[in-house]
Structures are given as C-alpha cells and as structure tokens.
Amino acid sequence: MTPEFSRLVRVQDIGTLARREAIVATAAERAALAVRFGLIDLDRLEATLEVVEGAGGLTVAGSIAAVGTQPCAVSAEPVPFTIAEPIALLFGTVSDADEIELSTPDLDTLPLDGDTIDLGEAVAQSLGLALDPYPRAPAELRAAAARFLISEEEAAARAAADKAAANPFNVLRR
C-alpha cells in the first residue's frame, strides 16, 4: 500500500553530513490525509528536516507545520487547528528478539528495512500524533454547560416538587 504522502529518500544518498529536506504536501495529498485522519480540511502540511547517518541508524530531526480543521468531538462543528511541532526520529534496524525492552530514546525509533526511508509517511504519522484526539468547539462547551446549570430558585423549586412527589400520601390528600 502506498502512503498518501510519500517522500522516499535512498539510504545510500545519506551521509554523515546532514542532508536538509523541505517537503510540502500537495492539495491531493492533503485531501487524502484529511480522509485518513478524519479531518474536515488540511490546508497546509510541510516539514523541514535534516537527515544524517549515525551509529544507530538514520537520524531525522526538524519540525512540521500544519493548518486545518477538525470536527468537534461533541457537535461535529469545525474546530480550526495550527500545529508547529518538533520532530525527532531514528530509523534503525529492528532486532529479531521476541521481547524488546523500550527505553525513552527508543520510543521514536522506526524500522529501517530496505534501501529507502519515507520522510513523508514519518511526517504524516507525526501529524496524526500531534492532532487533538477530542477537539471541542468553544461555543459547544458553553452550550453544554448551560444545559446543566440552573438558578438557585429553580433548584429550590425542583427540590420541593421532588419532595412532594416522593410522599405517597399526597395522592390521598388531593
């Protein structure tokens, strides 16, 4: 399966001197990523990266920038977002061990298999992690809170009505 946003770099083209890569998603790529991540719009996605070969594999560092709109988790109303995130990844070889103990530096390690790395897919995955999983529209929050807030007078009237309804002899008195 070909990723929606693919920018392949051959491993043999990367040396010990940092290689600078600036990648920008096209309109079609942004539309496909919007579908993948359940976004209303993805107006901008770009990254500035430096790739360098090291002892543990290929290090990718830089930043991603994205602008778009997500649906509100409550009302599906549009919620705009702006993302400006650093990115730091290590493409390294994966051991064949059955069980791998992960330490903090290992958490952003991606497998290096084959003779290319896909910087576009790495940026897309970083975008997915940077998105708010439960975006909320500000107006929706106020409207939801207003449904649960009542005045003191209304609370007292409701309490009196509940107390009267709870007494089974009120029916006989009428």
DSSP string of 108-174?
GEEE--SSEEEHHHHHHHHHHHHS-SS---HHHHHHHHHHH---HHHHHHHHHHHHHHH-TTHHHH-
Mean pLDDT estimate for the chain: 83
CA-based Rg of the chain, rounded to a whole angstrom? 26
Residue 100 has pLDDT above 80, yes or no: no
Q: Tell me which of 13-17, 86-90, 104-108, 144-148 is least confident.
A: 104-108
pLDDT reported for residue 141: 55
Q: State the Cα–Cα distance between residues 26 and 75, nearest whole angstrom.
A: 29
Which amino acid, 98? D
Q: SS3 for 142-159, per residue?
A: HHHHHHHCCCHHHHHHHH
pLDDT reported for residue 36: 96
Section 41-68 average pLDDT: 93
Section 99-122 average pLDDT: 72
pTM as predicted: 0.72
